[in-house]
Amino acid sequence: MSISHTGAGHEGKPVPSVTFRIRKDNDWASITTEQIFKGRTVVVFSLPGAFTPTCSSTHLPRYNELADTFFANGVDEIVCVSVNDPFVMAEWGAEQEADKVTLIPDGNGTFTEGMGLLVDKSDLGFGKRSWRYSMLVKDGVVVKQFIEPDKAGDPFEVSDADTMLDFINPRAKKPDQVAILTRVGCPYCAKAKALLTELGIRYNEIPLGHTKRSQVVRAITGEGTVPQVFINGERIGGWDALEAWAGRSKKAA
Q: Which amino acid is at 173?
A: K
Strand order from edge to edge, sheet including 178-182: 204-207, 178-182, 228-231, 234-237
Of 157, 134, 126, residue with least CA distance to 80: 134
Count other Cβ atoms within 10 Å, centred on residue 182: 21
Q: Is 189 a catalytic residue?
A: no
The single-letter code of the amino acid at 148 is E
- Strand pairing class (204-207; 178-182): parallel
Asked whether 191 and 239 are in contact (CB, 8 A), the reply is: yes
CA distance 13 to 8: 11
Say which of 55, 80, 186, 189 is annotated catalytic. 55
Query: CA 44, 49, 51, 57: dihedral to nearest 10 degrees?
Result: -50
Helix axes 187-198, 239-252, angle to 10 degrees: 10
Nearest partner of 49 among 110, 128, 117, judged by Cα: 128
- Residues that are catalytic: 55
